[in-house]
Amino acid sequence: MSKRTVRDLDVNQKTVLVRVDFNVPIKSGEITDDTRIVKALPTINYLLEHNAKVVLFSHLGKIDHKDPVKCEEGKKKNNMAPVAARLAQLVSCPVKFVPVTRGEELEEAVKNMEAGSIVLVQNTRYEKGESKNDPDLAKYWASLGDLFVSDAFGSVHRAHASTVGLSEYLPSAVGFLVEKELKFLGDAVDNPVRPFVGILGGAKIADKLKVINNLLEKCDTLIIGGGMAYTFLKAQGKEVGESLVDPEQIEYCGDMLKKAADLGKKLLLPVDTVVADSFPDPIDGEIETKVVSVDEIPADMQGLDIGPKTAELFAEEVKNAKTVVWNGPMGVFENPTLAKGTKAVAQALADSEATTVIGGGDSAAAVNQMGLADKMTHLSTGGGAFLEFLEGNGLTGVDCIDEL
């Protein structure tokens, strides 16, 4: 069944609580990438245009409530004030920042709002009960408004007071960003135009066990790159030197290779790799490398990126695809010398005529760094939520929203 969207709500003169994802990078008090703020604007502007009073909730960074000193440091570091300043530059209405998460100051600010204005509440993680979905906290926040809109796709896999709790006390809907994410991911994974190619990278097999298993059942070809590829190569009986291997998952990788064969699916692994004596330190520092076959990885060296033949192999598979879903880099892309594999895959997707859906996190960062974001069909704003979806799991912050 489809979820109610913000279009289905009567928001005129109503106080609408909106969970957005303003978890943006901040350095020396300045926002270095405002993409997440910009992505929230369609929902915010829609509400403003329809005479709503818009109260925004978001987390920013992490706060350690177990250690009083670290807690105060975290609050100081992750204050939402710079976000409010940037938001005020992007909208054509007043933005009032309330530097607290509860109490008279917040209550008065909301009470005195005019239709077509915004109140941005302090970082939700200032509250210890936020991440525990504390019902009293959710009920308190809900008492401030009339309606709830979930538009933080990057957080919809978390059962927090501001993502799930609010929906238990207020009529709820998803915003345009979450609606868009669900449409593109749903179409790509559950109803793809074939051939459907999945590309997975990153370092750890353990992070993507269910994703690999689920994608094998849904896609025609599954491409494995990044650090996780070496555990698969080990499962094939290859020697991988000092490359990253998860010994507890070798048997699992063997099972997945067998499953792919049994299902008649392609599971493509690297055929060559870029190796070095050690991991780069610093991560973006100079490093000496060489390219070797995956059958000839020296015992004292480690693979840190896919090689050129592998890049060609993967690119050719993408060229013939109609739908591609990609999550995870092909190597240590933060290092210019070890970013060639990730760049090659990104360029192949950019040149493709397929529907291309890119997962959040490092994959999105790589595409943005290369200036190829506008060449992709959809660049997801959610890393963890993207993976949860690929696993075939429900998203708790979406499941709780009212059905149409």
User: Of 144, 135, 150, 132, nearest to 18 (Cα)?
Assistant: 150
Q: Respond yes or no: is residue 204 known to be catalytic.
A: yes
Q: Respond yes or no: is residue 361 known to be catalytic.
A: yes
Residue 4 per-residue DSSP state: P
Q: Select which of 36, 86, 208, 234 is catalytic.
A: 36
Q: Select which of 102, 204, 238, 322 is catalytic.
A: 204
Q: How far is Cα 249 from Cα 167, in angstroms, rounded to an integer?
A: 39
- Token digits of residue 86: 């940037």
Q: How far is Cα 278 from Cα 38, in angstroms, rounded to an integer?
A: 40
Q: Select which of 154, 227, 361, 383 is catalytic.
A: 361
> What number of other Cβ atoms are within 10 A of residue 379's Cβ?
21
CB 330 within 8 A of CB 345: yes
Encode 46-61: b = buried (16+ Cβ within 10 Å), e = exposed: bbbebebbbbbbbbbe
Question: Largest Cα–Cα distance of the chain, in whole Å?
Answer: 70
Q: How far is Cα 197 from Cα 320, in angstroms, rounded to an integer?
A: 9
Alpha carbon 124 to chain centroid, angstroms: 19
Q: How far is Cα 57 from Cα 92, in angstroms, rounded to an integer?
A: 19
> Cβ contacts of residue 122 below 8 Å, gap of 6+?
79, 80, 97, 98, 99, 100, 101
Q: DSSP for 102-131, please give it.
A: SSHHHHHHHHTPPTT-EEEE--GGGSTTTT
Pairing mode, strands 15-19 and 53-57: parallel
Encode 121-143: b = buried (16+ Cβ within 10 Å), e = exposed: bbbbbbbebbbebbeebbebbbe
> What number of other Cβ atoms are within 10 A of residue 294's Cβ?
23
Report the alpha-carbon angle 344-345-351, nearest 5: 90
Phi, then psi, of 351 in degrees rounded to 5:
-85, -10
Q: How far is Cα 241 from Cα 236, in angstroms, rounded to an integer?
A: 14
Task: List, by residue number, the catalytic residues.
Answer: 36, 204, 361, 384
